[in-house]
Amino acid sequence: MALILDVFQPFSDNYGFLLHDQASGATATVDAGEAEPIAERARQKGWRLTDILITHHHSDHTAGAAALKSEFGARITGPTAEADKIGGVDNKVSNGDHVMVGDSRLDIIGVPGHTLGHIAYFDEKGLHLFCGDALFSLGCGRMFEGEPKSMWAGLERLRALPDDTKIYCGHEYTLANARFALSIDPDNAALQARAAEAGVLLATGGQTIPAVLGLEKAANPFLRADDPGLMARMGLAGAAPHEVFAALRRAKDSFKG
Ligand code: ZN
Ligand code: FE
């Protein structure tokens, strides 16, 4: 039986995700920035929270975890490398591991850079990817802790997933990301189309996720650091992809769009 997914916005621009394993009734939240909106959503659905899956240690992804754990007796899974910062982690995982939510399996993919221990959760059956602040639609997370080579390697791991993979990222940043991406890659038709679609979706009360990996591979400059055309446009023809990625990340950090 399938894993049912519920997407909501618990606060500000953060996304919330509940994963419900039909066979067992187990239910997971991906990240837990605030306890009450997540608890309320689970109650509305009639789902009992059994698992809290943390992508990285930032408080907008973790601050509600302890309260949810004590209210529901839920198990906290989180990155081994950040367990001390997160607190209360019962199940420590890293790249190559997997976690079960009831009978549903999620593979752990290491995506360091935004934070050093950042992980993503991948449901191979349903092709759902929960990537926190590592990868956004048309962008990627700010590189607070890591360095370009390992962050690019993590993004390459995500890029290697099937094109039909649906991307559920931690924040709604698509339009701001589109402005930067178009400044770098203005003639990219896939990017133009995705930017226009995002504008319509948000103007009509919708959301831009899930993003689809196959389209992101064509449109998101941070997944295209090894594209010869983009390299040339950055003035970095022949450079290593992680150097191009680093230049893109620096340019985005100072972009005033
Ligand atoms: Zn973060
Ligand atoms: Fe965040």
Report CA(141)–ligand 2 centroid distance (Å).
Answer: 8
* Nearest-angstrom CA–CA distance, 98 and 180: 35
Across the strands, what pairs with 139?
136
Under-50 pLDDT residues of the chain = none
Residues with CB under 5 A from ligand 1 (ion): 58, 133
Report CA(1)–ligand 2 centroid distance (Å).
Answer: 31
Q: Which amino acid type is present at position 56?
A: H
Report CA(29)–ligand 2 centroid distance (Å).
Answer: 15
Q: Which amino acid type is present at position 158?
A: L
The pLDDT of residue 1: 61
Among candidate residues 20, 57, 61, 118, the one labeled active-site is: 61
Among candidate residues 20, 57, 58, 242, the one labeled active-site is: 58
Residue pLDDT, tens place only, 208-249: 999 999 999 999 999 999 999 999 999 999 999 999 999 999
Q: Is 98 a catalytic residue?
A: no
What topology is assigned to 3-253 in CATH?
Metallo-beta-lactamase; Chain A (3.60.15)
Report CA(1)–ligand 1 centroid distance (Å).
Answer: 32
Confirm whether pTM is higher than 0.85: yes
Tokens 């509305």 -> residue: 44
The pLDDT of residue 26: 98
Q: Where are the domains of the chain?
A: 3-253
Dihedral over Cα of 133, 139, 142, 148: its sign: positive
Among candidate residues 20, 57, 114, 128, the one labeled active-site is: 114
Report CA(20)–ligand 2 centroid distance (Å).
Answer: 23
The pLDDT of residue 206: 93
A 10 A CB-CB count for 205 gives: 6
The pLDDT of residue 2: 80
The pLDDT of residue 257: 77
Judged by its nearest atom, the ligand closest to the C-alpha of residue 145 is 1
